Amino acid sequence: MKLQQFNEYCYAFTGAVNIGYCQKDGKGLLIDAGLDESAAKKVLRLLKLQELPLDYCIVTHAHTDHFGGAAYLKKETGIPLYSPPMESAIIENPLLEPIYLFNGANPINELRNKFLEGPPVKVDFHIETGENEIGPFVIEALDMPGHSYAQKGLLIEDILYAADGYFGTEALEKHVIPFIIDADQTLSTLEKLLHIKCKGAIPGHGRYEEDFSETIRQNQKVHEERIHALFQLIENKEDGESLESLTKEFLTLHTIDAKNLGQWLLFRTSVTAYLTHLERIGAIRFYIRDNEPRVSVS
């Protein structure tokens, strides 16, 4: 983890998951809290070392790699936590993530790990769309749903903290099928990102870039290709296909070898989101046959 500075006020602790940081008039603001206690500890240690203040923390969305360190951070420093309303519901009740991944049933223990369920923490204030004033900071919160339900990107002092609104090139290649909960929202968030005027942007996973348009276009291309490939699989089945067989075929096509149930469930969510897009545009239909959920071209 390294502290990288972008302008007079804006920085980020960069690593596998980036944590944003801004300081102004003797006050410090953290953007996301890292995966766990150890990540939060590193942030606190680096801030102390550089004699930088910490007064507030905004969590952009309720994925554990972004909020898992928040409980420790709050316990150690007592700083208030901010997050968008619907994301706050999950941050305060983190069992909801393994629950939604596990079809709404109480999850098996295997799914109750730190990558899918962070420690619960109380959110003190909601971040609303548009301008938010927190201490000396004027924060423009931009709706960036698609990767999660109510994720917000934050424009602060001309720097865009884009959360997981897009992924850096390497993260995109690593994930192959990025996690999304809505393909249409993901694509419109990417389109919106192309038109944001700022000095530079940093995603949750990836590098800071002044011109990030090419990276956004790569993200758009990946989702468009995934949707197309999924539709082709369905198109080639005269008799439709069960959701599970289709998911298996789609993962195999992208040479993915899911290592555990948690990983498979995350991929299944993205596949479901792509299928929902295809259903919305009238290209496919969902139906039940022999007690099996299936899709076919419509």
> Looking at residue 110, what DSSP letter applies?
G
CA 103 to chain centre: 20
Query: Rounded to the nearest whole angstrom, what is the least distance from the CB of residue 206 to Zn ion in the complex?
Result: 12
> Looking at residue 238, what DSSP letter applies?
T
Query: Rounded to the nearest whole angstrom, what is the least distance from the CB of residue 231 to Zn ion in the complex?
Result: 26
| Residues of this chain, 38-67, that bind Zn ion according to CB under 5 A | 63
Residue nearest to Zn ion (CB): 63
Distance CA 231, CA 275 (A): 8
Q: Which is nearer to Zn ion, 180 or 251 (by Cβ)?
A: 180
Is the torsion defined by CA of 78, 83, 87, 89 positive or negative? Answer: positive
Query: Rounded to the nearest whole angstrom, what is the least distance from the CB of residue 63 to Zn ion in the complex?
Result: 3
Rg over alpha carbons for the chain, rounded to the nearest Å, is 20
| Residues of this chain, 148-167, that bind Zn ion according to CB under 5 A | 164
Q: Which is nearer to Zn ion, 28 or 98 (by Cβ)?
A: 98
Q: Which is nearer to Zn ion, 261 or 266 (by Cβ)?
A: 266
199 touches 160 (CB < 8 A): no
272 touches 280 (CB < 8 A): no
CA 228 to chain centre: 23
Asked whether position 97 contacts Zn ion by CB under 5 A, the answer is: no
Query: Rounded to the nearest whole angstrom, what is the least distance from the CB of residue 220 to Zn ion in the complex?
Result: 18
| Total chain residues near Zn ion (CB under 5 A) | 2
Query: Rounded to the nearest whole angstrom, what is the least distance from the CB of residue 277 to Zn ion in the complex?
Result: 19
Q: Pull the structure tokens for residue 217.
A: 């276009």
Q: Which is nearer to Zn ion, 95 or 297 (by Cβ)?
A: 95
Residues that bind Zn ion (CB under 5 A): 63, 164
